[in-house]
Copies of this chain bind each other. A is one copy, B any other.
């Protein structure tokens, strides 16, 4: 089925969905790009067209054919290379990258919208650029002038792609346990030996060079996280004139056979068959993990956007099928059979899909807006930076969790046809499943939220956010529009639930970390339910006020979410504040 980029929805959410407080969430502050509404719309329209016409048709063939590995070479599926060229030719890799290196310097929030569309169109396609863009950002911040001059223009344009290499068999979540070695070559360069696993687009045929960003340990480095350095390791060395030189001592050893995103080659990489791969230090020795975090935070938001993207596509497909498929007769209909969308249970599934998708989109765009806001100086930038830090784990984990749920519901709407691979609904679930795992599992995101983000500024960061949510609730309660139903009351309760759970956790992070850790995952879900509900209500209010953005539809979505999904907040608060005991006394069960 054809994907149609929901450009109008996206534009509306960019303008209003993340528009909390002092415009932090808009992502469109005049300082950044200075684009007017028409410019924004034009960019989104163009991106939507490319996603619809060029990338989306590749999704099924990418899944069927997959990336093929033979003799060290990876061949991407038919049409993949041409699509990548069209995509870079349109300047899409460079949207939010620095103008001094060829980027367009547009807001991250705008690029976030584009990233969503690439991933709706084909998630296995969209994940590659996420890493290249992260690599370019990191190099722009930490690279030497020399490295930047040689590599950055081509990473910005997408002429070369970048990879991000942390994981080793014994070092997944625990990055500090990695063992890849770096030795000083004496000429300012380094030699890397070791093995990395799960390297996305570690090898492929889309570009004629691949620039690996590899974490490794110097022999004299301290153990653990503080002994890790970041290196740039090109697949082909680059001559002084910019032409490609010798093949480096780095190769893909194999490609994984995965549940989904078959067209994205997930490689095991081997360094140093012949003495060591030539490598260049990025930033300072032993500070590699900190440098890599720049890359990781952006990548986390992008993975959240993959969740949104796959949820959007699954919803569109289910919606279309539900309009076309006739089965049974709906209540009140007197003859013939009804489209299944007329049946209340199917409506419930579709409304769940759509409202979860919209909530996750709003959270992700608000996060991107906060990142944009953080680039300036002063208190506002600091507040935006903290807001981005707070929301990033929610954007990543909530969005990817609902990506899986929505894709699974999409199969259910299709009935038996959903289980048949040719229908395409099943691919969305298979693809979506990885997003909850990579770039830090969703459990790690929840722990990050609770243990690192809640304590920011002594809890003031999360409290400020709660105040903003509360203000939205009051605005909803102040409208006397019956179309909102119980939206105000249910959201008020959800924010109460979130507030109490937050306070409970803040009291225990130091004194009872085991309890705080046990409640992290349900807390993140509670955060997403309350914040997502408020953001949807905020959008609905904005639509009602402006007459833009299909007010009736937006109000119905906000109401559905508040009355059917945000109400889970009650149980989630209980799980956070009372469930920890039962987790921590569970050892009798966990013996076998």
Q: Chain A: residues with CB nearer than 8 A to chain B?
A: 167, 170, 172-174, 177, 197-198, 256-260, 316, 319, 322, 326-328, 331-332, 337, 341, 343-351, 354, 404, 408, 411-412, 415-416, 418-422, 426, 429-430, 433-434, 436-438, 441-443, 446-447, 483, 485-486, 490, 513-514, 517-518, 520-522, 550, 552-553, 555-557, 559-560, 563-564, 567-571, 574-575, 578-586, 588-592
Contact = CB atoms under 8 A, between A and B. Distances in A.
6 closest residue pairs by CB, A with B: A344-B518, A259-B426, A552-B588, A344-B517, A345-B443, A567-B571
10 contacts: A257-B420, A259-B426, A343-B443, A345-B517, A347-B518, A351-B583, A351-B590, A418-B437, A563-B578, A567-B575
Nearest to A438: B416
B581 A563 contact: yes
A167 B344 contact: no
B419 A260 contact: yes
A401 to B, nearest CB: 10
A323 to B, nearest CB: 8
Contacts of A574: 490, 563, 567
Contacts of A570: 567, 570-571
Contacts of A332: 514
A382 to B, nearest CB: 30
Contacts of A580: 344
B327 A172 contact: yes
Given A173-B415, A421-B259, A592-B319, A349 B575 contact: no
B421 A437 contact: no
A319 B517 contact: no
Given A344-B584, A351-B583, A433-B426, A578 B419 contact: no
Given A412-B442, A437-B412, A588 B328 contact: no
A415 B579 CA distance: 24
Contacts of A568: 568, 571
